[in-house]
Structure 1
Amino acid sequence: MTQQWWRELPPAAGAFVMATGILSVGLHLMDFEVASWVTLALAGGAWVVLAVDFGTRLLGDHSRWETEAATAPALTGVAATTVLGTRLSLAGWQWGAVVLLVVAVVAWPVLLGFVVRHWGRRMPGAAFLVCVATQGVAVLGATLAQAGRGGWLMWVALGFFGVGIPLYVVAFAHFDVAQVWRGAGDQWVAAGALAISALAASKLAAWQHWTGVGHTVLRVVTLVLLGLCLMGYVVLLAAEVFNKRPGYNIRRWATVFPLGMTAVATLSTAAALKIHPLHDLGAVLLAGAAVVWVIVFAELLWTSWAKTQGSRA
């Protein structure tokens, strides 16, 4: 039974780590440390399970690994690694964060190449993971630079940020816009990619060693990206309200992640650009993300319990 459960984990399971990890970051920023540590433990434990599963498939079932690596959800592995690394850095565990940055940087071009080569037209929201994974590296690199692990990491972050923006445009060109109405949860990644881009931009703008025109441009870009993210948030929320899609789906973790990421990006922008009303908005958005996380987690537990009961019967 354990082996079967282990082998049934899909690549999209990485979205759980992304959602739980970014919620942990947000709770830390709002000084809810107990809840932040609990969610960090959940995200870290899930990441270890998925990492072992990833390695097992790579070494023992390479054909299946290649098949799954060609799908956009495979990039949740890179994104989840960077989100977890960012939280570890904020906790003061810099060496652990550095290791995760190395893992992400090594895996990023491999998985990105597999995914892009198998892209098609009219794709679901998972297409935007090419941007999310890239900007995740930018966020982690900038976070480590701010933690004193080397100013050169900020230049690395700037490079990945610069690559992530055109990747968003390319992903949007392949995105099936009808997914906004009928998607199963991952349509929210369209907003989540803008949110993590805004978060990366805010961290770049907060770097104290950059001044002048370049710094001004980063501040403007941060506000533009956050504004676009919030607009997308409203559109997607309206679609959810008018077209309810009840029941648990693993892609719902790809809904929770953008909710949490939007909150964190708003809080980070408020701190970096000294715009205090954004802090209040970020707090409200974080509360909403936490509520949705609890609902989706409860649905996951209920679905798992019902499946176990059914198999016993």
Structure 2
Amino acid sequence: MPANSAVPDTVSLVVTAGKYIASFIPGFPSATHTTHVRMQCAPFRYDMNTSNITASIEQLSPAYFALIMATGIISIAGLLFGLKEFASLLLLVNLISYVLLCILYVYRYVKYSAKVVDDLTDHAKSPGFLTFVAASNVLGVQFLLIWNDVVTAKILFMIGALSWVLLIYLFFSLVIVKQEKPSIEKAISGVWLLTVVSTQSVSVLMTQLSGHIPFPVEWTLFSSLVFFLCGCMLYIIVITLIMYRLVFFTLQAEQFAPPYWINMGAVAITTLAGSLLIHRHAESALIVSLLPFLKGFTLLFWSIGTWWIPLVFILGIWRHWVKKIPLEYHPQYWGMVFPLGMYTVSTVRLAAAIDMPLILKIADVFVVIALVVWGIVFWGMIITLFRVFFVTRDP
């Protein structure tokens, strides 16, 4: 694990950023006006807005498990940089969020099954269901690394692996047999790369559970390698379609949503999966024979991810500063947090895998960026949920 002199400032950066963002939220207490706002709010009471809650569950995005993915990888990044208490706290937050979201999705399936079916057959929304796979596996990695809880990690791995089989083949089957299909500019986006992220998440947790599950280590690592290579091929296919859509079709500012950051995030988790296999290569004769190929392929994907960062950043500036799209909380912003955290973690693991400590300097910068962005998005989510679920009334 790298030593990082910038880490002690990370928490203060997150707090400062949170206060800064809060100062722009109308009616929200700032750090300097807490007493004044409390006095103003004293005559009011907050009542739960049940109609808003019902409507929100009905319209719940299939991709909301990206919250678990993002928080989980930020937690793991914190652990790698020595913030163990912070990592443990985020694991607790993630566990609660995971359980609550599972309950909400089951309720939505029972209560609004027609909406769920519509989402499953929607080219633009259906890949979002794969966030459940990645979320389960990322949470499993958290339990394994932070709390050393192998049993829970194995349970989450089984959930993640089985749901991957169900959801990825269901997704491709439904969009293939669908008779009325949308044009490519309306159908495809960075969300489609969740096919890659979910596949590589299975590889990541499987590799780290090697030796703990009731299968020979050689077989486990071989299976993990197969998932890794499938994820690589899926990325090559999907990113080609995404580049075709971006370059040859008109892109409205509203269409360049935060999930396009997954263009980078998908190769970041691919890098992580490859780096972990390199680390365990001595336990598999096959991986030993493939080691030069595996190192080169893993470095290739990290390089592609690094290339994407300036481009998506420039397009983000174009969206918000040039085209004046307001910065408001949306669940899709978790699709931006996850790639930033994953790029940080994958860079740390790659540095160890190929013995290239120089690139740790990049991780030192990105861990701070990822923590600050996570704090801002999490803060925005809390404020948005409060406003949606509660109304103020005169006494």
| TM-score using structure 2 length | 0.73
Distance 2:360 2:116 in 1: 42
CA contact (8 A) 2:154 2:213 kept: no
Provide the secondary structure at the position in 2 that maps to 1:118.
helix
Per the TM alignment, residue 105 of structure 1 is displaced from its structure 2 partner at its CA by: 1.2
Q: Which residue of 1 aligns with 2:82?
A: 31
Per the TM alignment, residue 8 of structure 1 is displaced from its structure 2 partner at its CA by: 4.5
Candidates 189, 192, 202, aligned match of 1:127 = 192
User: Mean alpha-carbon deviation: is it higher for 137-146 or for 66-75?
Assistant: 66-75
Distance 1:172 1:222 in 2: 17
Residue 294 (1) aligns with residue 375 (2)? yes
Q: Which residue of 1 aligns with 2:175?
A: 118
Residue 253 (1) aligns with residue 253 (2)? no
Q: Which residue of 1 aligns with 2:117?
A: 66
Candidates 127, 142, 157, aligned match of 2:224 = 157
> What one-letter code is carried by the residue in structure 1 that aligns with 2:138?
V
| Structure (1 or 2) with the greater helix fraction | 1
Which deviations, in whole Å up to 9, do the C-alpha atoms of 1:222-245 show, x marking residues without a partner?
111111111111211122234324
Q: Kindly report which structure 2 residues correspond to 1:230-249, keeping only aligned pairs within 5 A, or say none.
A: 230-244=306-320, 245=325, 246-249=327-330
Residue 77 (1) aligns with residue 132 (2)? yes
Q: Kindly report which structure 2 residues correspond to 1:214-225, keeping only aligned pairs within 5 A, or say none.
A: 214-225=290-301
Which deviations, in whole Å up to 9, do the C-alpha atoms of 1:123-143 show, x marking residues without a partner?
121010001000010011011
Residue 270 (1) aligns with residue 363 (2)? no
Residue 17 (1) aligns with residue 68 (2)? yes
Candidates 354, 361, 366, aligned match of 1:280 = 361
Distance 1:312 1:164 in 2: 52
Candidates 99, 124, 145, aligned match of 1:48 = 99
Q: Give percent identity, aligned residues only.
A: 26
Unaligned segments of structure 1, at least 5 residues: none
CA contact (8 A) 1:271 1:279 kept: no
CA contact (8 A) 1:195 1:229 kept: yes
> What one-letter code is carried by the residue in structure 1 that aligns with 2:349?
S
Distance 1:110 1:57 in 2: 19
Taking structure 1 as reference, are residues 196 and 180 closer, same or farther at Cα in structure 2, changes over 3 Å only?
farther
> CA-atom RMSD, angstroms?
2.4
> What one-letter code is carried by the residue in structure 2 that aligns with 1:41?
L
Unaligned segments of structure 2, at least 5 residues: 1-49, 177-181
Which deviations, in whole Å up to 9, do the C-alpha atoms of 1:284-305 show, x marking residues without a partner?
1111011001111122222233
CA contact (8 A) 1:20 1:43 kept: yes
With a CA cutoff of 8 Å and minimum separation of 6, indicate the structure with the bigger relative contact order. 2
Distance 1:48 1:11 in 2: 15
User: Mean alpha-carbon deviation: is it higher for 296-305 or for 175-184?
Assistant: 175-184
User: Mean alpha-carbon deviation: is it higher for 165-174 or for 244-253?
Assistant: 165-174
Per the TM alignment, residue 212 of structure 1 is displaced from its structure 2 partner at its CA by: 4.4
> What one-letter code is carried by the residue in structure 1 that aligns with 2:132?
G
Which deviations, in whole Å up to 9, do the C-alpha atoms of 1:249-307 show, x marking residues without a partner?
11001000001011111011112222111222112111101100111112222223333
Taking structure 1 as reference, are residues 69 and 42 closer, same or farther at Cα in structure 2, changes over 3 Å only?
farther
Q: How many residues align?
A: 313
Q: Which residue of 2 aligns with 1:195?
A: 268
Candidates 192, 204, 207, aligned match of 2:277 = 204
CA contact (8 A) 1:267 1:283 kept: no
User: Mean alpha-carbon deviation: is it higher for 297-306 or for 69-78?
Assistant: 297-306
